[in-house]
Amino acid sequence: MASGDRQAKVKKSLSPKPFSVPQHRSRLTRSVLIFFVVFFLLFLIVILLLYSPIFAAGTIKIEGNNYLSRQKILNIANLSTTTPLFDINSADMQSLLLEDPWITSAAVDVVWPSEVVIKLSEAKPIGFAELSSGNYVLVGSNGKLLNRLSVRPDSLEFVFPLSFVKPGGYLAPASLAALKSEVEIILQAPESVIGKIKSVNYTDASGDELLLQKGIRVVFGNSSQVTEKWAALATMMARTNINNDKEIDLQDPNLPVVTG
């Protein structure tokens, strides 16, 4: 063999061979790529569907609102008919609703594909306090201040002392326990007595004091034996002719005392 041919063979054997991907590896790479593309597209379709009007809160049912308007509740809950159900966290929405002083309990149910049900319990306005500004603030059965009014709510019999309210119209923390105690007492008043009470006042010394429509002052005391105290007062008002400017001491309901 000529030396030229041998040199050509040696050179050919030493030269780098072109890189080639095996056919099965090429097919695997394409399959993986297609899988991820399809997965991404499906994921995108699912997200678009979840945030589409199909799965929005198109129907919103609200139960138990006797005082708050539907729109007010929707504003508190940050909810509308375009809100995606996928974005609604029932626990978070319940917390938002319970921040409002009118709402005493709240439950939020998400019903797929397009419904939200809100069930509420509300505080009942049982009295008011007059602010130094001349406005009034409602007091609820839950012991909270509800909202301000520009006119006196004459339909409510119970007038709470201004000492319960800060100048801005908010409950003074130090008087929270006293107000709740007073509310508990008032809520147990019998119907036969409620209409005859002109106002209720709380004093640190003697607890609650009532002023009846006839001008009779009633020293009610604290919330101990509250049922017995109301029963004693109802009996005295029904059976006894008590004149004006008298005082009834109910701190011991078994031995009520009339003076004056």
Residue-wise pLDDT for 77-115, tens only, equals 999 999 988 889 999 999 999 999 999 999 999 998 889
The pLDDT of residue 11: 55
Whether the model pTM is above 0.95: no
Q: Average the pLDDT over 189-206 and give the result.
A: 74
For the chain, domains (ranges, CATH) are 53-122 (3.10.20.310), 125-259 (3.40.50.10960)
**Residue of 35 and 110 predicted with greater confidence:** 110
Q: CA 240, CA 12: separation in Å to the nearest integer?
A: 130
pLDDT at 59 over 70: yes
